[in-house]
Structure 1
Amino acid sequence: MGPRSRLGVFIAVSGAISVLALVAPTEMSDPVVLLWSLLCSVLMITAARRHRGTTRRTAWLLAGAASLTAIGFLVRGIHGEMVGEPQPMPSPADFIHIPAYVLFVLTALHVHRSRSTRRDLDAWLDAAALILALFIMMWVTFLGDFVLDSSLDPGLRVLNSVYNLLIYSAGTVFLRITSTPGHRPVSYYILGVAGIAYIVSDIAATYSLARGTGLTLAVALSPIVYGLAAAAIRHPSAAMLAVPHEEEELRVGSLRLFIVALTILTPLITFGHDGGRVSSLVLICSASLLAGLVVTRVVRLLRQQQEASDLDRALSTELAQLAALDSASAIVARIPDAAERLL
């Protein structure tokens, strides 16, 4: 079976199990989802053993995160049967799931460091602004009510905040990877879709805690996350996943600037949702921090444009002066001074 056929099998099986999770009773679908998660974890471990070089560590980190998450699902299910709740929280499973989240963050960081050979503060500012805008939207729509509800168990609220902090951290690094120059093989895009599904699934799980609905979506996305992650690690192009592109210039596309510009509108949207009132100090601080990130990004962009303009003028001046010289020896003598001025 070729790579495309294997990928098709993973997608088909993952999609079928996701549909089952949406339409079938939980007593029927949950065991199937769990078995698929465990199977994909085993497949990822066997694939990680075959990898070499930088990708080997990436594969092992991802396989470890997936395996711990699947085991956590199993432990939480057993705990739920014992206490009579479908998804108990806090639970002993949290001692397994939190390290799994940490491994997911470490996986994203490792991929970023492997693919990126240059420091790019602007890309980090863009990613942080977008994630902060997402946090503000979540805080106003459902997260704030949940965290500030004093009638809920404090342990539950603190634990959920820890999970959210980890998923926001992973999301920031994930967005940073998307703006990193480098080889983008098929496995890169497969893993990217899996990462998006993972983040959406976690947000749906948080929403289910706050509103009592949405857990079905989180469970339904789980097979897709596992299937695509396993397919990405087992794909032949995975060997190129962590290979940087040394000669590619860092570019800021119009779409990236447009998305970052939209983040500044997030506080206005949230104020409208809240009837024009600021409901929490957290929202005020977050909106202020978001504005600071966007302003810093714009200032740095304007400064870079000014530096590029100054360099262009200096280069034109030096070329004109070199062209005015009447001998080759004078041009050669002038070159060191010209290079020093430009550099």
Structure 2
Amino acid sequence: MAHRRTWFTAASLAAVLAYQWTPDTWVQTVCYDVIGFAGVAAMVVGLLLHRPARPLPWWLLLAGQFCYVGGDMVAAVMRRWLEMEPFPAPADYMYLVGYALQAAALLMIIQRRPRGGDGAALLEASIIGAAFALVSWVFLMKPVVLDNELTLTGKLISVGYPALDLLLLALLARLLAGRGARVPAFWWLASSIALTLGGDYVWAFTDRMAYDGSTVFSHLLDAVYLVSFLSCGIAALHPSMRRITDDDATTVAERLGPTKLLLLTAATLIGPLVLAWQAGRNDGRVDAAAAISIGCISMFLLVIARMALLLKQVQIQAGLLEEQADVLRELARHDALTGLPNRRAWDAALSAAVTRGARDGSSFCVAMLDLDHFKRYNDSFGHPAGDRLLKTAAATWTTRLRRSDLLARYGGEEFVVLLPDTTAAQAVALLDELRAVTPEHQTFSAGIAVWDGAESGHTLLERADRALYTAKEAGRDRVACAPDAVRAGTAAMIS
């Protein structure tokens, strides 16, 4: 199917290029209609081939394209065969119905797209819509309303073209600014609508300025519409066309990037540029002052609303980043396996305890614990069992400690305990209690050191570590106090 789509695309572009050399006769009309209906036929084939779950928007798009091409054919028949060019003509009604059908299809597609970020997308589409509404009113609609030679029906038809173009433009901007997967069919469809709008605005402005374009200009403008028809057909032929109208879990958040910011800036400058153009053309007199004022005020308010929404998004993101930073800080201070404070948190707590003791004269103990024969346990039962032992032991010991005590994982199977306002005897009793509840009938050795009121935290921990090795050398499964604790008034003991 891919190669057939490629051949269709290549053949279509070749046909559009060949059209540029057709004479302004029935040959040109037939070539134009054949190429246009080829795009419609491609849409039919794509719909029957891919069968989207929600085909209605695609059928509406197809009907709209048919009305466009059919309207061109009807207009050509009246001009070339009947030699009539009435206004309004039957072709005008077909064109307007085509616009309405395509607008309805775009609206349905927008409703099926992911809903996140609707506020920003709606504001951005409104800014672009307001800018083009001002241009359309000043240059296209107002002259028609003031034209006394047109009938009421003629005025409604003439105003209907730029009004429906404006509606399509707003819906296209909303579709492009919103969320959703950017699949190939999406871009082909968006290009088709954009080309139609571009051709309409070029034709409308040249017609309003009574510009009698050359045959080359006419052919080039026809080519824009033909490529639009064919782009819609290629969109329908692509397998990704189903994702445009069907539920799609994949979303892409469209941010306020440089390109979008440039487009919005250009849109907001349209009002002042129209004002300057009218003032320069009419010696300082502005005919559409009220419309320009309303347009500028509307765009200004919409820009303020968009900036307020952007500021809100920035604040939300800043809050999320702060929450993530808190989580990261918490993770950086806690051991991933046991959930206990890690060595970094322990160093900070020990330093704070030394500082507090030096300030208010309070005393404290530190203890180092080492699970006995932990390597042998790992070798016998496996590392997952060893991890479970560490986690269970940490949780069990924590339940036996006071709220003011701090148990931390120092590394491997080693743990440290900070015991504020605790004597050596009290610390030994507490460590013996912890040994008794160690899970899996395992044991540990521990060394205790009491702060002497002047030493650093590093020196204090070294004394506790030496006491730990004393307990190990004495046969493990026991608690030993550092010798300095005896001189502080507590008897050394091994239990």
The TM-score range, normalised by the shorter chain, is 0.7 to 0.9
Distance 1:236 1:247 in 2: 18
Deviation at 1:193, TM superposition (A): 2.0
> SS in structure 2 opposite 1:274?
helix
* CA gap 1:26/1:139 in 2 versus in 1, 3 angstroms: farther
For the aligned residues, what is the CA RMSD?
A: 3.2
How does 1:28-177 map onto structure 2 within 5 Å? 28-54=27-53, 56-80=55-79, 84-86=83-85, 88-141=86-139, 143-177=141-175
Which 5+ residue runs of structure 2 have no aligned equivalent?
A: 342-394, 400-495
The answer to whether the aligner puts 1:179 opposite 2:187 as a matched pair is no
The aligned counterpart of 1:302 is 311
Answer yes or no: is the 8 Å Cα contact 2:52–2:241 preserved in 1.
no
Deviation at 1:65, TM superposition (A): 0.9
Answer yes or no: is the 8 Å Cα contact 2:26–2:80 preserved in 1.
no
Answer yes or no: is the 8 Å Cα contact 1:143–1:210 preserved in 2.
no
The aligned counterpart of 1:337 is none
Please tell me the residue identity of whatever aligns with 2:258.
S
Per-residue CA distance 1:28-65 (angstroms, 9 max, x = gap):
42332123223432332233223323463333222111
Answer yes or no: is the 8 Å Cα contact 1:14–1:224 preserved in 2.
yes
Answer yes or no: is the 8 Å Cα contact 1:181–1:245 preserved in 2.
no
Among 232, 235, 256, the residue aligned to 1:232:
235
Distance 2:243 2:313 in 1: 32
* CA gap 1:299/1:150 in 2 versus in 1, 3 angstroms: farther
The aligned counterpart of 1:341 is none
> SS in structure 1 opposite 2:90?
coil
Answer yes or no: is the 8 Å Cα contact 1:143–1:207 preserved in 2.
no
Distance 1:205 1:304 in 2: 41
* CA gap 1:42/1:315 in 2 versus in 1, 3 angstroms: closer
Distance 1:8 1:252 in 2: 35
User: Higher strand fraction: Structure 1 or Structure 2?
Assistant: 2
The answer to whether the aligner puts 1:3 opposite 2:24 as a matched pair is no
How does 1:240-259 map onto structure 2 within 5 Å? 240-242=243-245, 244-246=248-250, 248-259=252-263
Distance 1:227 1:303 in 2: 42
Query: May I ask how many residue pairs the two structures share in their alignment?
Result: 326
- Structure index of larger Rg: 2
> SS in structure 1 opposite 2:260?
helix
Among 258, 275, 292, the residue aligned to 2:301:
292
Among 215, 220, 223, the residue aligned to 2:223:
220
Deviation at 1:121, TM superposition (A): 1.3
User: Higher helix fraction: Structure 1 or Structure 2?
Assistant: 1
Using the size of structure 1 for normalisation, the TM-score is 0.81
The answer to whether the aligner puts 1:263 opposite 2:260 as a matched pair is no
Per-residue CA distance 1:90-127 (angstroms, 9 max, x = gap):
12233332221111112212332333343511111111
Please tell me the residue identity of whatever aligns with 2:287.
S
> SS in structure 2 opposite 1:264?
helix
Which 5+ residue runs of structure 1 have no aligned equivalent?
A: 331-343
* CA gap 1:89/1:48 in 2 versus in 1, 3 angstroms: farther
How does 1:183-194 map onto structure 2 within 5 Å? 183-194=181-192
* CA gap 1:285/1:83 in 2 versus in 1, 3 angstroms: farther
* CA gap 1:304/1:220 in 2 versus in 1, 3 angstroms: same
The aligned counterpart of 1:279 is 287
Distance 1:65 1:273 in 2: 36
Deviation at 1:153, TM superposition (A): 3.6
The aligned counterpart of 2:370 is none
The structure showing larger relative contact order (alpha-carbon pairs under 8 Å, at least 6 residues apart) is 1
The aligned counterpart of 1:338 is none
Using the size of structure 2 for normalisation, the TM-score is 0.58
Answer yes or no: is the 8 Å Cα contact 1:55–1:238 preserved in 2.
no
